[in-house]
Amino acid sequence: MAGKSHGRLRPYHLLLLLPLFSLWVPFYNRIDPTLAGIPFFYWFQMAWIGVTVLALLIVYLLERRSGDKL
């Protein structure tokens, strides 16, 4: 399980910062565009959960492939 490249930061780890965009409130604090009657404020934040899962999944798979483990 232990490898030499353990703990090394790779460029793809920057993807892990993507979820934190959900803390940038001014971007989504608006009603339009609505989606099926749901204000942007709500559907954007819900949609960002999907972005989070994708970002984490990609990093997880890349780590597995390269053997680097953060």
Partner 1 sequence: MRPPVDAVAIAVFAVLFGLVTVLGFFAARWRRGDLDQLHEWGLGGRRFGTLISWFLLGGDLYTAYTFVALPALLFGAGAMGFFAVPYCIAIWPLLFVVFPRLWSVSHRHGYVTAADFVRGRFGSRTLALTVAVTGIVATMPYIALQLVGIEVVIAALGLHLSVNVAGVTVELPLLIAFVILAAYTYTSGLRAPAMIAVVKDLLIYGTVLAVVIVIPVQLGGYGHIFASVAPSKLILPALPKGGLGAQSAYATLALGSALALFLYPHSVTGILSSSGREVVKRNAVAMPLYAVALGLIALMGYMAIAAGLQTMPAYAEGFKAFGTNYAVPALLLHSFPSWMVGVALAAIAIGALVPAAIMSIASANLFTRNVYKEYINPNCSDAQESRIAKVASLIVKAGGLVFIIGFPQTYAIVLQLLGGIWIIQTLPAVMLGLYTRWLHPAALTLGWLTGIAAGTWMASTLSFKSATYVLHVAGLAVPCYAAVSALALNLLVAAALSALFNLASRGPRADATTAEDYV
Distances (CA, A) of 41 to 8, 48, 65, 68: 37, 11, 37, 37
Using CB under 8 A as the binding rule, whether residue 38 contacts partner 1 is answered as yes
Beta strands in 1-70 (DSSP E): none
Q: Which residue has the tokens 């608006």?
A: 30
Residues 51-70 that bind partner 1 (CB under 8 A): 52-53, 55-57, 59-60, 63, 69-70
Which of 65, 6, 30 shows the shortest CA–CA distance to 57? 65
Among 11, 25, 33, 65, binds partner 1 (CB under 8 A): 25
Chain residues binding partner 1 by CB under 8 A are 1-2, 6-7, 13, 16-17, 19-20, 22-26, 29-31, 34, 36-39, 41-42, 45-46, 48-49, 52-53, 55-57, 59-60, 63, 69-70
